[in-house]
Amino acid sequence: MGSPYAAPAPATTIPAGGWRVLHTLPGRDWDDLAERTLEQISWLIDRGHASWLAAPPDGEAYCRAEARGLPVVPMVFDRPWLPSTIQPLRRFIRDSRVDLIDTHLSRDAKAAIACLDLCAVVRSRHSDHPLKPSMLRRLQWRMGCDHVITVAATTRRHLLDIGLAAPLRATWIGGWANDLFFELADPVTAGARVRAELGLSATEAVVLSLADSGQSHLLAAIAKLAGRGVPVTCLLAGRASAAELMAMAVELGVAERVRILGARQDLPELMRAANMVVVEGQPRALVQAFASARPVVATRVGVVADIVEDGITGLLVPPADPDALADALAKVAGDPFAAAMLSANARRVAEATMRIDYRMAETLAAYWTARRHARRRIFPSVI
């Protein structure tokens, strides 16, 4: 029997001449969704396919894609049903002979419905927030695209349960970490260098959080650990308000145990400076921690609970429960053998399934399914 982690073979999922894929992003902010999309475009181009980003030219994703040398198409999706949105989209698809549109949010997915006669349409769902079923929404999802890709198994199950997706036309494809998280040169030295920069000793227990919000429960857990005589230093990286976080740390009496770092560009090195990583609903940070072989303590919510096998690849705790979080952190900090087991298991899973090549092979297989459905729909007398 083959490995359960064997990636689908891409050789049977590539049309003659390679894929021609248009990714669409209607938003203007920079987030994990935008980063994931640009990485997909880069991967496709590096392997001989054609791919573009269609996005508002005043948005962060468009500007960053342009700065990276990726092909960009200025397109605004604020009013998806208007001819001023649909006509340029259709024109680009015809002129560039696009095989498939991969939409990433609601507005661009609605505009893509008007292109179903021209190419295959994939609707990617990145959020795990529940949707309310309605007749209009069901029509938009079931008849307005050829395939659905979700980034979480729970999201796929939810869409099936409420009738927005069909089992054979819905695939969940998890996230990936870039190669630096797997293969950082001299990770021990890199971690020591970051610790020295932050004024941390080589022996103190350090926990890292990459959340942009919701770190109050972690600070409360750090305070509880301090009360038990278990000193743990907390690194908070992300876009959360530094003033609010420090005020909370002062109020809890743990200001000396907290370093507020803001947004960082050296996340692979920062991971190596930590003994453990707390994840509160950020699947990208979770995958990066797995790839970095850091033991994870994660809240039992959504996609995170799909990825972490409790007690095997990490520890799961209930959301908004500082006591349970403190217990889990104390277990990791106080039991090096258990911490090493968790990190080793997580790294094995990451090596098997959390590299971009594996995930993009899954994506190409989903694209092929979508394209086959579209050809049957567009040319019923031929297929």
| Residue 287's CATH number | 3.40.50.2000
> What are the distances in angstroms from CA 299 to CA 144, 278, 281, 329?
35, 8, 7, 12
Q: What is the dihedral of CA 99, 144, 152, 34, to 10 degrees?
A: 60
On whether both 144 and 264 belong to a single domain, the answer is no
What tokens appear for 253 in the block? 């009496």
On whether both 188 and 130 belong to a single domain, the answer is no
On whether both 145 and 247 belong to a single domain, the answer is no
155: phi > 0 → left, psi -120 to 50 → alpha, else beta; which? Answer: alpha
On whether both 325 and 226 belong to a single domain, the answer is yes
> What pLDDT score does 187 carry?
92
pLDDT digits (tens, 9 = 90+) for 208-256: 999 877 789 999 999 999 999 999 999 999 887 888 999 999 999 999 9
Domain membership flag for residue 3: no
Query: What residues of the chain score a pLDDT lower than 70?
Result: 1-13, 381-383
Domain housing 169: 10-176+356-378
Q: How many structural domains are present in the chain?
A: 2
On whether both 313 and 347 belong to a single domain, the answer is yes
Domain membership flag for residue 4: no
On whether both 47 and 193 belong to a single domain, the answer is no
Domain membership flag for residue 331: yes
On whether both 164 and 213 belong to a single domain, the answer is no
On whether both 374 and 344 belong to a single domain, the answer is no
Domain membership flag for residue 112: yes
Domain membership flag for residue 215: yes
> What pLDDT score does 381 carry?
58
On whether both 50 and 81 belong to a single domain, the answer is yes
Q: Which residues contact 312 (CB under 8 A, 6 or more apart)?
A: 342, 345
- Determine the Cα–Cα distance for residues 315 and 300; give it in Å rounded to an integer: 9
> What are the distances in angstroms from CA 23 to CA 61, 101, 178, 242, 348?
12, 6, 20, 34, 31
Domain membership flag for residue 2: no
pLDDT digits (tens, 9 = 90+) for 295-320: 999 999 878 888 999 999 999 999 99
On whether both 188 and 145 belong to a single domain, the answer is no
Alpha helices in the chain (DSSP H): 32-46, 60-67, 83-96, 106-112, 135-142, 153-161, 179-183, 187-197, 216-227, 242-252, 267-273, 283-291, 302-307, 322-334, 336-353, 356-378
On whether both 207 and 312 belong to a single domain, the answer is yes
The size of the chain, in residues, is: 383
Domain membership flag for residue 91: yes
Residue 21 and residue 102 in contact, taking contact as beta carbons nearer than 8 Å: yes
On whether both 170 and 104 belong to a single domain, the answer is yes
What tokens appear for 343 in the block? 């990190």
